[in-house]
Structure 1
């Protein structure tokens, strides 16, 4: 079995890379080590690059469709990795998970309807709700024993006759929780009782650490399967986000037809050749690479844990159960969000500000550990220096 080298540094500058070439725009300076945008600094796996090169040998890049082989690569992956038997007829396309989420909001609600979000949460959720003219209702997560969980009593109180949808982040971003079956059963019971459709963002489902297991929402029960939409992709897993190819799983035929109408009117269903090739190749050949990468990420997390405990114990990382994103709690330092961000930028490290994920993120920053260990160590040293 090939051994992959995740320590190899890759110069991403001058490639129109948001993470590096967008530093001036987002941080006001080029002199910052960026550990923010949720893509990885590791090379996209060689088997994907080779498949793309092979496709380029055919010198016509005209209109194409996604065939049964593409669908089978997805269904086989989901069954093997998540014990989820998915019929190919349940699959649809999306240019990205946020695009799929937004299309689903358009398809299954109307302007003025209430959509529940659970902050602190991936901030494009807010844009998708507000940008489509829906009313955002917050059901904040509860912090218990250093881990977020659902506030079910608050959820019950927030649901009204105007509440049509709940946006679920599973695994959770930025906290890194892998929701347990018990947690999901309790959440879905409330939604079923109130006829609230769940749109579940499961883009991080392959990035689950040892000791935890991702539970695809439709596997909770057949009733739940008929009352949810699942948005997934290989983009985070295999570092192919730039190919804008995701998929949606909708077991309910009626809901699937409504989603596909929303998808096809603006002609978004076509996708692109290379996204399809990359996704199919990733799911057919990517298991060994993924297993090695997950070990590397867990070792990176151990570095974060050990370094902060020994050098800056006031900063406490939330223990991630999944994802390469770590939620750092700076509240013990007693700084405002603006002061916190200024200190870090002055020290030359760029993270995501916690308040981007909702006001519940005040005092937090999100760091991306999907990078070479030398880069991560350099960032940790700069964080230490910021508060020396």
Structure 2
């Protein structure tokens, strides 16, 4: 039986939302910047949150809200990855988890490898943890992006003490290969450094790509690695504040257990309730429908760019709903999103925030209705023809 694409909510209803996406700009601006999606919640999530509100269940998050068991089942079903529920702990959000782990695996002033173009908070999190960013840009070709293993190796030989990995990569949507992840794990093990893998976009991997959890790659990966993830990007739950941290082997699990109790207390109760519902088998059909919709959207963007912005460069992402588009050919400067928002009334994410490699680029959120994406690209295309 074919899976029906999930339908985005109508624009008039979306504009009633009070989140960042819908309150940052006037109503004449189409917002395709921040990583929020326009789809209805999975029914299991709506049911869980409605029940909590009706019960007044708005107190503190319990010590075990069921996240370990829920994630273990989800990882087995979606990734073929066996996870011990006892290895899973929680906190407020993924970047907070990254900071807490980094603080314990590096000393102040030590360098942390970051692979741009990459999610802008990576840079801030390294600094917040007391580290110094060591940039090792992804290697890029006509086929896409991959980890520059030689560059990472040099950085580790020169003293970098941790690697902050984004898998799948934000903003490019790259799903890093098993071979590259295994090679990265070997480098980290050889130099005795930690790898922290942000895998928040993993459930949104599009066929034929296959997501490989870093901790599952090898014993070496488990011996050096941490996974930090959340249901928030896939199920549009960012405002509810719940992220998971998983240790690959006993030393990493011991480190997570030794984190101050306040780290776990930061987990939002509604985030935990929604996360358990999201990762339950009941939500799998919703996720399957979302993936069909996003697959359609990434292909639609290819067609729209060919029609309205033929000089733009874009590779369909392996995962997620974020499209990385090079519009430098149009001469809109290093940060084209500024002119696009001003003159075309479309809000896109600023390319240079992802690193110097983002000059002349924009990131487009395609997690919306096809007609919204079409209108946005048409508006930008009109700007290109002026």
TM-score (structure 1 length as normaliser): 0.93
* Residue in structure 1 matching 2:95, options 85, 94, 98: 98
Greater mean deviation of Cα atoms: 250-259 or 228-237: 250-259
Question: Gapped runs of 5+ residues in structure 2?
Answer: none
Q: In structure 2, how many angstroms separate the alpha carbons of the residues matched to 1:192 and 1:209?
A: 30
Matched, 1:275 2:271: yes
Partner of 2:7: 6
How much does 1:283 deviate? 1.3
Greater mean deviation of Cα atoms: 134-143 or 13-22: 13-22
Aligned-pair RMSD on alpha carbons? 2.0
How much does 1:104 deviate? 0.9
TM-score (structure 2 length as normaliser): 0.93
Q: In structure 2, how many angstroms separate the alpha carbons of the residues matched to 1:100 and 1:283?
A: 19
Aligned residues of 1:66 and 1:276 also touching (Cα < 8 A): no
* CA offsets 1:118-170 (integer angstroms, 9 cap, x no match): 01111100000122221111111111124011222222222246421100000
Q: In structure 2, how many angstroms separate the alpha carbons of the residues matched to 1:134 and 1:334?
A: 36
How much does 1:230 deviate? 0.1
Matched, 1:218 2:204: no
Q: In structure 2, how many angstroms separate the alpha carbons of the residues matched to 1:78 and 1:71?
A: 10
Alpha carbons of 1:35 and 1:339: their partners in 2 closer, same or farther (altered >3 Å)? Answer: closer
Aligned residues of 1:343 and 1:387 also touching (Cα < 8 A): no
Partner of 2:35: 38
How much does 1:60 deviate? 4.7
- The secondary structure found in structure 2 opposite 1:173 is coil
Alpha carbons of 1:359 and 1:43: their partners in 2 closer, same or farther (altered >3 Å)? Answer: same
Greater mean deviation of Cα atoms: 163-172 or 185-194: 185-194
Q: In structure 2, how many angstroms separate the alpha carbons of the residues matched to 1:41 and 1:233?
A: 18
* Residue in structure 1 matching 2:20, options 18, 21, 33: 18
Matched, 1:166 2:163: yes
After superposition, residues 236-255 of structure 1 pair within 5 angstroms as 236-255=233-252
Q: In structure 2, how many angstroms separate the alpha carbons of the residues matched to 1:267 and 1:312?
A: 46
Aligned residues of 1:324 and 1:368 also touching (Cα < 8 A): yes
Matched, 1:85 2:74: no
Aligned residues of 2:175 and 2:210 also touching (Cα < 8 A): yes
How much does 1:340 deviate? 5.7
How much does 1:211 deviate? 0.2
* CA offsets 1:259-301 (integer angstroms, 9 cap, x no match): 343342x454352322111111111111101111111111111
Alpha carbons of 1:50 and 1:173: their partners in 2 closer, same or farther (altered >3 Å)? Answer: same
Alpha carbons of 1:161 and 1:260: their partners in 2 closer, same or farther (altered >3 Å)? Answer: farther
- Figure out how many residues of one structure are paired with residues of the other and give that number: 382
Aligned residues of 2:189 and 2:223 also touching (Cα < 8 A): no
How much does 1:89 deviate? 1.4
Q: In structure 2, how many angstroms separate the alpha carbons of the residues matched to 1:328 and 1:348?
A: 18
Alpha carbons of 1:334 and 1:287: their partners in 2 closer, same or farther (altered >3 Å)? Answer: same
- The secondary structure found in structure 1 opposite 2:195 is strand
Aligned residues of 1:90 and 1:249 also touching (Cα < 8 A): yes
Partner of 2:142: 145
Q: In structure 1, how many angstroms separate the alpha carbons of the residues matched to 2:132 and 2:159?
A: 9
How much does 1:14 deviate? 5.3
* Residue in structure 2 matching 1:124, options 97, 121, 130: 121
Q: In structure 2, how many angstroms separate the alpha carbons of the residues matched to 1:166 and 1:322?
A: 21
Greater mean deviation of Cα atoms: 267-276 or 296-305: 267-276
Greater mean deviation of Cα atoms: 202-211 or 372-381: 372-381
Q: In structure 2, how many angstroms separate the alpha carbons of the residues matched to 1:338 and 1:60?
A: 45
How much does 1:56 deviate? 2.5
* Residue in structure 1 matching 2:376, options 374, 379, 383: 379
Aligned residues of 2:162 and 2:195 also touching (Cα < 8 A): yes
How much does 1:66 deviate? 4.8
Q: In structure 2, how many angstroms separate the alpha carbons of the residues matched to 1:254 and 1:79?
A: 23
Q: In structure 1, how many angstroms separate the alpha carbons of the residues matched to 2:57 and 2:227?
A: 33
Question: Gapped runs of 5+ residues in structure 1?
Answer: 24-28
* Residue in structure 1 matching 2:293, options 293, 296, 303: 296
